[in-house]
Structure 1
């Protein structure tokens, strides 16, 4: 995969592979076409399609792209909301030997321009909502040959630079595309760009083999715990541009589940789709979970066992308890863009006497090896208290960052993928993410985990969101400051919050250096492009203020 890291789209032709043993993305669809051919896939309020229809659309999309000049190794960029169209692209583009770029539409225009330039995307498939964005940057994309616009039935004239309507072109394309059954499983299948704390977005990529192994391992972990089955109805609540929607559309298709796609996220529509179609399995970040719960609560709706996998940031005990009271079966997990993404999942079957809650970061799923290490790369004790950096190995981790040898070497220093997350391991193997290394507050020679303070504060009933960041201090290097968003109509008691933190110090749960210097009530907190609280932005404006 070194060539893929050097430049997406320039990989030399791979040797032919044995179709009987090659792990390619097309194989994930095969069983569903036999056992679940008439199962439904629904997009918003549109008429459902079957798996048989999906396979036909996969063939038509591949023909459409071939007719517009896409060949093996070329990159096709997708800018769309979560939809059955996106699902078809997950299969059609890699199956024809091309590379699917899932574009993060929440990035700035400059960042999107950069990602499309570096990937050398040849064709853009664009929802009409993003046509103004493409209009602003298209003159800076010399490698783009054509633009296909998704109109969704709108009668507005296509932009002059558009090569045609997705719907019209798809209808005129042949369904019997001759997919190569000897496609090599080590060909790059997908690429996307992850945003860090500094610099430009970094490109990661994954092969057919990696995505198939990831799908099998996630399904095995959830199936062994009774969390997924053939009767489940699946709906993603993390964007399909973000790490393949955590890989779950591939898992759901492999198992032939009924699938519901909500398009642009609107909490009221999400609740309606859940009620109308009996959704049983989803995944999201805590901020989305809170929005969906608040909407359901305002309508007096309970969720009756809806299984919700939570990742992206800490799941507080308060939010977990509220979700369980609303009828949700919530389990946390852990992963990141570079890990494809799933590293660990909590188990519903863990007995209460273990002391583990569903909010813990989980146990490594099959084929994943983890270690928590000190600065010398030596494992720290598995006592659930000793902190270190989480490092990972598995068959589906990205080999590095596209076009960035220095960052790739840092990512894989010592033969392990470095997550930059501070973690602890329990003696039974349960993982707990404590903080991001960049978010740890360094004060008076002590390290303070911001997430520990946030968990304490979120236990206050009037607090909706909180971010604790380190603010520069002339004597102590940094001091912790909490920024709190209150619940609607509430006014958090700052004195009680300070006393809560002091009590945790007295109990020995946190260092005395973790006492808060300041608490500020704010109307909202900035979010990243994938819905996490943006602590980098908070640190910047807190220092300016």
Structure 2
């Protein structure tokens, strides 16, 4: 067999050669902007050329601080196209975490959407390796304290549209890096190789997974700064699928309008997005008949939501599972051919699980006595391995806690039934997953207990109709502060410490927090104690 390297730039070259007329559509305040793949490829080549002129070399990291747009898509290919590493930065992280990951990744250049400049300006003085800032804007450069600063479009105008992507890149070399949402401590970096992204894209395109094709009109609602937008920009470009980018600050109404006007066939996002879309569909008249699949991941989708999409609106719903560490696709919940005639409730029960592992990966579920039975009852930790699964965290000693014996130890507790269907039932740590992002209860507890009035604090997850889970703070005050400290006092104390979306939805004052026999907080008892007050009806 020929030893041909699996290289990301070949995906863009294929789109340029065979699908030059197909479009990438970006929603902007001035209306939808349209570029053909021929134009996108030329702009990508210009970007690669411009980055080299700025001094970016093979192995250097280039950060992106941006929404879903054609420019971000160009960066997806233009940065790896010169052998550099695409670092997609989560714009929702707390400032100290943004500073940490830029420095930890040693980013050399940052590409920034103009409306996000203030977030970067707040922490620019802490950056140790950034040598240039590139602002992605249509107009003139806005005033900024960043320096040196360049206009993305002006750099592209001076770039070479015939630039040749670097070919002698080892397929196992880094193409991208994404950091986790910092469940405890600082975020952890996950490096994606050219080979891993290439194979993950092939898996996502399979008929029994995403089933994408040239005829699809794809809209990745999941952010391009989060786990490579689940790989959709790569596979859609490779296949020549039309791509629709929702841009900045979209709403459920905007998504519904884009689905109708752009005739979207496949879209992907976390459950909170689809809960919002369901509410919008109930209030307006929208034509969603073009949709053949809504791909949902990030956290478990409520069966009632799946049922609403499929029964009320006739929109097929694909429930998937993955992690930043897994590129992210691991499993997709689809009915087997002999299950299509089952009663509706049985089919819904299957679709609400995390599904079958995709071809190319191996999984096993391990309990205290070894691998569990495939009976849907016995529980254990989910372990994964395969060619697009990370083998370690980037320059991080915490790797040993998750990667050993040749497997990724996910920290998710799961079962597997006789059909091989995975179901997540719990987590090994008390993490809160809000809108597809992790929140650390321990970090919040430590933050609360730093308040002089607080004796004890425990943070638990409560159900939320929009975000699936939100943190609830349970606080015991020192005797001398009882009835003298309010919820607002606690929240005001936390605001400078955490990102806005980390802040608890509520603070409940208790006389005591239930504990285990060894003195640990008994959070299960807390949830039971408070569930009547915070339960989704």
CA distance in 1, matches of 2:395, 2:212: 38
What secondary structure, in the 3-state scheme, does the structure 2 residue paired with 1:247 have?
Answer: helix
Q: Structure 1, residues 206-233: CA drift from partner, whole Å, max 9, x if none? A: 110110011011112xx24684332110
Where does residue 40 of structure 1 map in the other structure?
23
1:181 to 167, 170, 179: 167
CA distance in 1, matches of 2:522, 2:38: 59
Deviates further, 388-397 or 465-474 = 465-474
Q: 1:457 touches 1:463 (CA, 8 Å); kept in 2? A: no
Distance 1:248 1:481, change over 3 A: farther
Q: Structure 1, residues 104-151: CA drift from partner, whole Å, max 9, x if none? A: 000011100000001110001111112112222212212111111112
Structure 2 residue 396 is the aligned partner of structure 1 residue 404: yes
1:370 to 363, 368, 372: 363
Where does residue 30 of structure 1 map in the other structure?
13
Q: 1:158 touches 1:165 (CA, 8 Å); kept in 2? A: no
Where does residue 455 of structure 2 map in the other structure?
none
Where does residue 346 of structure 1 map in the other structure?
333
1:104-253 pair list within 5 angstroms: 104-153=90-139, 156-157=142-143, 159=145, 161-220=147-206, 223-224=207-208, 227-253=211-237
What secondary structure, in the 3-state scheme, does the structure 2 residue paired with 1:234 have?
Answer: strand
Deviates further, 224-233 or 261-270 = 224-233
Where does residue 294 of structure 1 map in the other structure?
279
Q: 1:420 touches 1:436 (CA, 8 Å); kept in 2? A: yes
Q: CA RMSD in A?
A: 2.9
1:330 to 314, 317, 327: 317
Q: Structure 1, residues 410-466: CA drift from partner, whole Å, max 9, x if none? A: 21122211010011111111111112211499xxxxxxxxxxxx9x989xxx99956
Structure 1 alignment gaps of length 5 or more? 1-17, 442-453, 484-514, 524-545
Q: 2:205 touches 2:211 (CA, 8 Å); kept in 1? A: no
Name the TM-score, length of structure 2 as normaliser.
0.79
What secondary structure, in the 3-state scheme, does the structure 2 residue paired with 1:149 have?
Answer: strand
1:383 to 368, 375, 398: 375
Shift of 1:178: 2.8
CA distance in 1, matches of 2:429, 2:193: 30
Distance 1:254 1:194, change over 3 A: same
CA distance in 1, matches of 2:466, 2:197: 39
Where does residue 433 of structure 1 map in the other structure?
424
CA distance in 2, matches of 1:302, 1:421: 38
Where does residue 473 of structure 1 map in the other structure?
514
Name the TM-score, length of structure 1 as normaliser.
0.78
CA distance in 1, matches of 2:42, 2:50: 12
Q: 2:272 touches 2:466 (CA, 8 Å); kept in 1? A: no
Structure 2 alignment gaps of length 5 or more? 433-459, 475-512
Where does residue 442 of structure 2 map in the other structure?
none
Q: 1:82 touches 1:263 (CA, 8 Å); kept in 2? A: yes
Q: 1:467 touches 1:482 (CA, 8 Å); kept in 2? A: no
